[in-house]
Amino acid sequence: MYQYNEIDQKIVDERVAQFRKQTQRFLSGELSADEFRPLRLRNGLYIQTHAPMLRVAGPYGLLNSKQVRMLAHIARKYDKGYCHFTTRQNIQYNWPKLEEVPDILEELASVQMHAIQTSGACMRNTTSDHLAGVCVDEIEDPRPYCEIIRQWTTLHPEFDYLPRKFKIAVSGSQRDRAATQFHDIGIHIVKNETGDIGFRILVGGGLGRTPVIGQVIKPYLEQQHLLSYLEAILRIYNLFGRRDNKYKARIKILVRETGLEKFNDMVEAEWLRIKDGMELSAERVAAVKTHFTPPPYEANTDQDTRFAEQLANDKAFATWHKYNTAPHKVAGYQAVYLSLKAPDTPPGDMTDQQLDAVADLADRYSFGEIRVTHRQNLVFSDVKQGDLFALWQQLDSLKLAMPNIGTATDMICCPGLDFCSLANAGSIGVAKEINDALDDMDYLHDIGELKINMSGCMNGCAHQSVGHIGILGVDKKGVEWYQITLGGSSENEAAIGERLGPAVAKDQVTNTITTILDVYVKQRLEDEAFLDMVNRVGIAPFKDRVYANN
């Protein structure tokens, strides 16, 4: 993974000093709360229901074991012994003290981490495929381009005060695991007819209050023009994006109100004026690629025979293997998911002990690297098949081996009303109730692939509008209600879920979900996944059953 050079280190160190100064100016009254807000937000610091919340960047989801140990240390020293992994591959702390945040940032900088631009109306952490570089369907590894974009977006002087937040995601595979169609800019690595690597650029996607699927603005962009093209889009957005209404300020609204064709003309005209001055050199790309060379894989690891025996002899291991591993491009290696969706923990949360143990396991089994997924789990990307059994046993003892990846209890869930000042309704408690109702693993596995996403408010941090089942908490006269949607997807066949009907009361959410699943089990065709059935029959059969008694 990318290792900082002197310049990278200097930037994060100077950022810490800058934020320390800003915090002092605020605490001494030289900066008002309104003036300090955009500054602290650009360092990931929100003021939340109970305490500030600090969001730390996980650059395109990559962490090393040393960094994970630092996350554990921070959880212990400055927080309540845990942290939370987010859908944008970042890490959140819910209980830091404002005056200690500069110290936290200084500790992070010592392991090449930061919280730069993890919130606020600026360019955010670039996200990507958690299986980058190891998956079998990859056109090219997206990580070097993510790093190039990370550097370009970091402390960009012209685009730090945008109309609204701005998110970029990059996918290098056939299958989109980074929800690129729901980002302000989605970048797909593609090959043209002559075999050259370039980019398909999508613009104007987004979730939140107005979910929109991104549209292709550039079917093929030559590699050397990546940054000039991004700059052209950002300049048009910065100049013309709406600033009169924060709910209409995302680039998706500018694209919609301008029309894609005209917006495209504006970007193209801007791009043509700047592109020749800022080409990405082949040398630069090659230099960044040297940070992402494959680890020293051992030969003949696929000759290991114990693995097949273990699979045959241990049903629990075989089940875990079926759900919580992914194929690897190197024979004898596999990628392993660490489920952060154990029944009794809030989705995406980890304790300091778990973090330390995971760092040790990563060193032992996966070249010291840990990845954060878009669905709030972790991945060890390079595990020998002969090590899987031992790794599984240790993950199991850490409660990180719940065989539920991609199933109904692998829910995406925001912190909700319990922590977030924006939320209208609780989410963690509801997630737990659904989890408890689906505790029969055979039933869960029979249901199969199912993505349930639940957000505690319209801001949609947990991407409910693209959940196969989406649950959205709303406030009606001080009472928590939940809107259910069906048929959303953030993958290749992107879709926004359709409202099932009137919102349901909090104590009816779990019933509603189990009723929906019951309809699915009864009416599905052989091997038909939940989303496929919804696409085939529509929402009517589900609606009829859910609202049958009303």
Which residues are at the interface with another protein (CB under 8 A)? 7, 10-11, 14-15, 17-18, 21-22, 25, 30-31, 35, 38-39, 121, 151-152, 154-163, 227, 235, 238-239, 243, 273, 278
Indicate the residue among 166 and 365 with the shorter CB distance to another protein: 166
Nearer to another protein, 57 or 412 (CB): 57
Closest approach of Cβ 341 to another protein, in Å? 36
Indicate the residue among 66 and 156 with the shorter CB distance to another protein: 156
Among candidate residues 276, 272, 334, the one with its CA nearest the CA of residue 302:
334
In the bound state with another protein, the residue whose beta carbon lies nearer, of 162 and 201, is: 162
- Which CB atom, from 35 or from 137, has the smaller least distance to another protein? 35
Shortest Cβ 185–another protein spacing (Å): 16
Q: Which is nearer to another protein, 151 or 483 (CB)?
A: 151
Token digits for 462? 């947990």
Q: Which is nearer to another protein, 243 or 524 (CB)?
A: 243
Tokens at residue 116, please? 């730069």
* Closer by beta carbon to another protein, 117 or else 181: 117
C-alpha span between 135 and 158 (Å, rounded): 36
Tokens of 179: 């929800």
Judged by CB, which is closer to another protein: 7, or 299? 7
The residue among 503, 429, 414 whose CA lies nearest residue 460 is 414
Q: For residues 275 and 335, what is the distance between their CA atoms, to the nearest angstrom?
A: 39
Tell me the closest approach of the beta carbon of residue 157 to another protein, in angstroms.
4
Shortest distance (Å) from residue 515 CB to another protein: 46
DSSP state of 377: -
Within 13 Å of residue 401, how many CA atoms lie on the same side as its CB? 18
Q: Give the bridge partners for 498, in sequence order.
A: 486
What tokens does 70 get? 């630092």
Q: How long, in residues, is the chain?
A: 550
Cα–Cα distance measured from residue 116 to residue 108, given in angstroms and rounded to the nearest whole number = 11
Residue 84 φ then ψ, to 5°: -130, 130
Minimum Å distance from CB 191 to another protein? 28
d(C-alpha 370, C-alpha 412), whole Å:
19
Pairing of strands 412-413, 452-455: parallel
CB of 233 to another protein, least distance (A): 12
* 385 in Cβ contact with 307 (< 8 Å): yes
Spatial contact of 302 and 331, defined as CB atoms under 8 Å apart: yes
Identity of residue 332: G
Least spacing, CB of residue 40 vs another protein, in Å:
11
60 or 182: CB nearest another protein: 60
Rounded CA-CA distance 338/264 in Å is 41
Q: Looking at beta carbons only, is 163 or 348 nearer to another protein? A: 163
Q: How far apart are CA 186 and CA 167, in angstroms?
A: 9
Rounded to 5 degrees, φ, ψ at 104 are: -60, -45
**What is the maximum alpha-carbon separation in the chain?**
68
Q: How far is the CB of 106 from another protein (least distance, A)?
A: 16
CB of 149 to another protein, least distance (A): 11
Q: Angle of helix 388-397 relative to helix 315-324, nearest 10 degrees?
A: 90
Q: How far is the CB of 122 from another protein (least distance, A)?
A: 9
**Which lies closer to another protein via its Cβ, residue 5 or residue 549?**
5
Q: What kind and span of H or E run contains 62?
A: strand 62-64
- CA 492 to chain CA centroid, Å, is 16
CB of 151 to another protein, least distance (A): 4
CB of 265 to another protein, least distance (A): 16
DSSP at 406: T
